[in-house]
Amino acid sequence: MENIAEISTALDTAWILIMGLLVFFMNTGFAMLESGFSRVKNTVNMLSKNVTVFFISVLAFWFIGFALMFSEANGFIGINSFLGLFLSGNKEFYSSLKHLNIPLDAIFFFQMVFAGTAATIVSGALAERTKFISFLIFTFFMSALIYPVSGHWILGKGFLYDLGVRDFAGSLMVHTVGGMAALAGVMVMGPRVGKYNKDLTPNAILGHSIPMITLGGFILWLGWFGFKMGCTFGFSPELCAHIALCTNASGIMGGLGALIGSWYFLRKPDLSMVINGLLAGLVASTASCAYVSLPSAHLIGFVAGSLTVISILSLERFFYIDDPVGAISVHGIGGIWGSLALGLFSAREHINYAHVAYPKAGLFFGGGAEQLLLQLIGILAVVVWSFIISFIVWKILKHTIGIRVSQKAEVDGLDLAEHGMEAYPGFVSSGDSII
């Protein structure tokens, strides 16, 4: 490296790659978290989904998703995207990225692992009853079409971006989309055998390993720092340090919110609720961590964590949504709240950084309701798109190859039925824990 510009590019690129590795590691976190929430008999299946969902989503994003999301567009979708299949375009081709000083490969690496998370969110909500092959096909649509299109609207500088909707690192683009795809899937799929009694009261079907849930939660938290600090498309000392603090704060306050919430509603400090609450806190600050103050990040996280407890219990009890890991609440509700919170807490005195387009000041910070309304429009557009298209894909899959394993396979466990193997040969299982 021989001059300031080269070194600057090198540092920005190294940063993006390292943050990308942290995001990549989130796959491990999701695998541990979601498997821990499954019963013993479905553990191999859950792990298999988490491994292969990344395979499929990376390939789909490489094939077409990236071009759809970032190439020249009419605002709604990359119109000449098919020229960019398999990353064949040069940086100029991807019009919303061409101003960046880092290599296209590095941008693609980060965006690829970033895209991978949206698909992973779905696997947890559909745990313990979904056909392996159908899930893989849905994943392909998710990463080739569903995620990139609404992603294009914002990160690809499409119509929502032009309107002024902001979403720094994806509360809306990634988490709300993942949550809505999961919700659509659960609605088409229906609850697990044994989840509801004849009088429609729910049973708790316990996950098989709290240590795996905790390990997964911690790894996700670690990865989330990369998820957010990499969305700068470069390195800014002031901004990245601020994001690190806000990320941590919202996770902690989300966990505390859920701790208090579970103590209040369930009369016990429920660790799985705490982990979900902290994840919801991390989800919620994803949209706004670059734009809000540190105290605001605390508050955003706390509300998210509290909401999660209420949402998990309500979805189960009043809406008959059987989401074994709480993904719809954590990512869907947490994502919507976070996208909205940006319109409330966005502050003018943030740190300026060239690669970040800032929103207007939020309702609580002297900006009036304008940004909040913009965020509402953005949420509406993204929720409608991702829910309806996901619903259609799940419906088509249901009426063609089928999306659900047989009732016998579900009772026996998907590990034996779909994979012909057990997760823990050598241990004596006590069977399902349903209370």
Q: How far is the CB of 221 from a second copy (least distance, A)?
A: 8
User: What phi, psi does 404 have (nearest 5°)?
Assistant: -125, 140
Q: Are residues 155 and 95 in contact, defined by beta-carbon separation less than 8 angstroms? A: no
Q: How far apart are CA 156 and CA 137, in angstroms?
A: 25
Residues 6-45 that bind a second copy (CB under 8 A): 7-11, 13-15, 17-18, 20-22, 24-25, 27-28, 31-32, 35, 39-40, 43-44
Q: Which two tokens stand for residue 239?
A: 């901004």
**Nearer to a second copy (CB atom), residue 226 or residue 378:** 226
Q: How far is the CB of 42 from a second copy (least distance, A)?
A: 10
Per CB under 8 A, 139 contacts a second copy: no
Residues 403-432 that bind a second copy (CB under 8 A): 418-432
291: closest CA among 133, 115, 168, 390? 168
Q: DSSP states of 349-384 as a string?
A: T----TT-------GGGTSTTHHHHHHHHHHHHHHH
Torsion angle of C-alpha atoms 111, 335, 118, 317, degrees rounded to 10: 170
Binding-site size, a second copy (CB under 8 A):
107
Q: How far is the CB of 15 from a second copy (least distance, A)?
A: 6
Q: How far is the CB of 111 from a second copy (least distance, A)?
A: 11
Per CB under 8 A, 214 contacts a second copy: yes
* Contacting residue, 78, 178, 255, 359, with a second copy by CB under 8 A: 255
Q: How far is the CB of 68 from a second copy (least distance, A)?
A: 19
Distance of CA 274 to the CA centre of its chain: 18
* Amino acid symbol at 216: G
Q: How far is the CB of 82 from a second copy (least distance, A)?
A: 17
Q: DSSP states of 266-329 as a string?
A: HSS--HHHHHHHHHHHHHHTTTTTTTS-HHHHHHHHHHHHHHHHHHHHHHHHHS----TT-HII
Q: Are residues 116 and 144 in contact, defined by beta-carbon separation less than 8 angstroms? A: no
Per CB under 8 A, 235 contacts a second copy: yes
Per CB under 8 A, 363 contacts a second copy: no
**Nearer to a second copy (CB atom), residue 242 or residue 360:** 242
**Nearer to a second copy (CB atom), residue 8 or residue 95:** 8
**Nearer to a second copy (CB atom), residue 234 or residue 367:** 234
**Nearer to a second copy (CB atom), residue 217 or residue 362:** 217
* Contacting residue, 68, 73, 112, 142, with a second copy by CB under 8 A: 112
* Contacting residue, 218, 265, 320, 358, with a second copy by CB under 8 A: 218
Residues 52-81 that bind a second copy (CB under 8 A): 52, 54-55, 58-59, 62
Bridge partners, residue 196, by sequence: 202
**Nearer to a second copy (CB atom), residue 153 or residue 221:** 221
Q: Which two tokens stand for residue 400?
A: 């063609």
Residues 194-213 that bind a second copy (CB under 8 A): 206-212
Identify the three-state secondary structure at position 78. Answer: strand
Bridge partners, residue 73, by sequence: 78
Per CB under 8 A, 191 contacts a second copy: no
* Contacting residue, 198, 268, 399, 408, with a second copy by CB under 8 A: 268
Q: Cβ of 158: how many Cβ atoms within 10 Å?
A: 23
Q: Are residues 339 and 176 in contact, defined by beta-carbon separation less than 8 angstroms? A: yes
* Contacting residue, 37, 225, 337, 387, with a second copy by CB under 8 A: 225
**Nearer to a second copy (CB atom), residue 180 or residue 290:** 290
Q: In a 10 Å sphere around its CB, with 0-12 CB exposed, 13-18 middle and 19+ buried, how is residue 30 labelled?
A: buried
The single-letter DSSP state of residue 130 is: B
Which residue is associated with the tokens 């609850």?
191
Per CB under 8 A, 126 contacts a second copy: no
Per CB under 8 A, 267 contacts a second copy: yes
Q: Cβ of 199: how many Cβ atoms within 10 Å?
A: 5
170: closest CA among 26, 63, 364, 323? 26
Residues 76-105 that bind a second copy (CB under 8 A): 86-87, 102-103, 105
Residues 281-300 that bind a second copy (CB under 8 A): 294-295
Q: How far apart are CA 145 and CA 386, in angstroms?
A: 10
Choose the stretch contacting a second copy; rule: CB under 8 A; options: 69-77, 160-168, 262-270, 393-401. 262-270
**Nearer to a second copy (CB atom), residue 340 or residue 423:** 423
Q: How far is the CB of 41 from a second copy (least distance, A)?
A: 8
